[in-house]
Amino acid sequence: MSFVLTTPLYYVNDKPHLGSVYTTIICDCIARFKRLLGEDVIFITGVDEHGLKIQRTAQEKNIEAKTHCDEISEIFNLNWKKWDISFDKFIRTSSKNHELIVNEFYERVKASGDIYMGVQKGWYCVGCEEFKDNPENSSSYKCPIHQKNLEWKNEENLFFRLSKYQKQIEKIINEPSFIVPIERRNEIVNFVSRGLKDFSISRTNVSWGIPVPGYGNHTFYVWFDALLGYISAISSNSPDPSLEKSINGGWPADIHLIGKDILRFHAVYWPAMLISAGIKVPKKVLGHGFLTREGQKMGKSLGNVLDPDQLLSKYGNDPVRWYLIKDISLGNDGDFQDKRFVDIINNDLANTIGNLLNRTSSMSRKWFDNKVPIIEKKSNTNKLENFANIAVKNYLQKFDIYKLDLAANEVLNLAINTNLYLNDNQPWLLIKEKDNLPLVKEIIYNVLESTRIIGLLLLPLLPELSSKINEQLGSIYKKEIPWKKQLSWGLLINNSSLPKPSPIINKLEYEQ
């Protein structure tokens, strides 16, 4: 059985922004975690290339939509590689294979009697690619997300009978594990309780889309098309992709990780479409909050957009990952503050974890011939062993319920406690007395061992830093042994060599 998880398929109107980097990093952590637990993971990401928004973006640039999409999609693909994202599938909704699956899916929904022709009237936000619920003064109303006026639409469209699935959707969304966190579920429960309305799944004024078979001037509504990307991704590399192949290849998705603004599509429209086509619904929709910058919404007009490319080249992957994972509670909104960023990285990664490794490995090398000490006698109670065991247990529990910030804090707390243990025991004073040598060996071993576990716990969160830590302990993660087993206390080999220490992370300077 596979474990399938997805990022949203990003619009290619622009290159990746910090919001898309955030979602993709969180998904990457979960994918890595599940792989370490031995799951057969299919991590899907990709791009959403059709629709009016993209059509217009290409028109503004005076180029063919296809040319525009090729260019930006490649940027996304390369970008995720630069961020060391461990995705397995990258789906482009403009690909032929995807089109085949959309058509197949549409035929199934049609066969269920869920498609009919109707007239769609309403106020539309092109940025969201969504009809809004008739806000007052709609002609002057600006979409709060895109700060753009809505457009009035009145056209003949094909509709999907969403209303037919009211009861089934109510049942699904009330399942406590389906929408997480709970605040997000409440929003959807309220929305559904007002009664589901059928929604239009075709457009007559959008040429950049998949043509609806049998309806010359209609293309599929971009969301109807895009959501199916999650399914088509699974068989996208096959020479003869099909709905059946995708379904057998791992569907249903275990997690759709998305931002709160697109929850309705994933938790209501999408399950109903799937039920209509006789396909299983995803197991979980994990909705995260929005990122702001220094307390303000990020936007081009405000001129405060953080370019993730610049962040990556200036600070590197680990610091940005650590900040986004540890400082933002998944589900809540988060704020990116430059000063806070520098402080957190310096405190947590450089001072707490980096120094711990550096100073302990240096002491051990100096006193024990460049090696891990050989333990001669063991105290009855080992405080640090207890700390480590509790930290591992809590970390696994938190990760399991996708509280990544709390899991990261468990690792940090273990490092803080390990530093305290070192300071309390002061091996640098004890070593002056020859009789203390067995005790010093025990203390140093414990600290090195705790640091080994810290390194391993960081593996899904900060893969680069984690490898550096464990390399410096001469004890790297071994693929052939279950990761959980390697988290047990006492596996650092006595008398094994310790490589020369070098800083694993540089301190950052705050520039105003």
Q: Is residue 331 a contact residue for ligand MSP (CB under 6 A)?
A: no
Q: Are 474 and 452 within 8 A, CB to CB?
A: no
Q: Is residue 11 a contact residue for ligand MSP (CB under 6 A)?
A: yes
For the bound state, the minimum distance from the C-beta of residue 36 to ligand MSP, rounded and expressed in Å, comes to 25
Please tell me the distance from the alpha carbon of residue 475 to that of residue 499, in angstroms, as a whole number.
Answer: 10
For the bound state, the minimum distance from the C-beta of residue 38 to ligand MSP, rounded and expressed in Å, comes to 29
Q: Is residue 291 a contact residue for ligand MSP (CB under 6 A)?
A: yes
Which residues, 6+ apart, have CB-to-CB distance to 250 below 8 Å? 1, 2, 4, 42, 234
Describe the crossing of helices 308-315 and 65-82 by its angle, rounded to 10 degrees.
Answer: 30
In the chain, the N- to C-terminal Cα span, in Å, equals 50
Dihedral angle of Cα 118, 124, 127, 128, to the nearest 10 degrees: -60
H or E, element range at 277: none
Within residues 461-490, the interface with ligand MSP by CB under 6 A covers none
Q: Is residue 282 a contact residue for ligand MSP (CB under 6 A)?
A: no
- The window from 9-17, 64-72, 197-205, 400-408 that contacts ligand MSP (CB under 6 A) reads 9-17
Q: Is residue 83 a contact residue for ligand MSP (CB under 6 A)?
A: no
Q: Is residue 19 a contact residue for ligand MSP (CB under 6 A)?
A: yes
- The window from 63-71, 290-298, 477-485, 493-501 that contacts ligand MSP (CB under 6 A) reads 290-298
Per DSSP, the three-state class of 372 is: coil
Nearer to ligand MSP, 296 or 362 (CB): 296
Question: What is the total count of residues that contact ligand MSP (CB under 6 A)?
Answer: 19
For 156, 241, 322, 455, 458, the CA distances from 463, given in Å and listed in that order, are: 51, 33, 11, 9, 7
Q: Which one among 5, 20, 180, 410 touches ligand MSP, defined by CB under 6 A?
A: 20
For the bound state, the minimum distance from the C-beta of residue 342 to ligand MSP, rounded and expressed in Å, comes to 21
**If you write DSSP's letter for every residue of 235-268 in order, what string do you get?**
TTTSSS--HHHHHHTTPSPSEEEEEGGGHHIIII
Per DSSP, the three-state class of 59 is: helix
Q: Is residue 259 a contact residue for ligand MSP (CB under 6 A)?
A: yes
Q: Is residue 262 a contact residue for ligand MSP (CB under 6 A)?
A: yes
Nearer to ligand MSP, 246 or 466 (CB): 246
Burial-class residue 264 by CB neighbours within 10 Å (0-12, 13-18, 19+). Answer: middle
Nearer to ligand MSP, 212 or 291 (CB): 291
Within residues 210-249, the interface with ligand MSP by CB under 6 A covers 226-227, 229
Expressed in percent and rounded to 5, the helix, strand and coil fractions of the chain are 50, 15, 35
In the DSSP assignment, the letter for residue 354 is I
The 36-65 site mask, x for binding ligand MSP (CB under 6 A), equals ------------x-----------------
The residue ranges that bind ligand MSP (CB under 6 A) are 8-11, 19-20, 22-23, 48, 226-227, 229, 258-259, 261-262, 290-291, 298
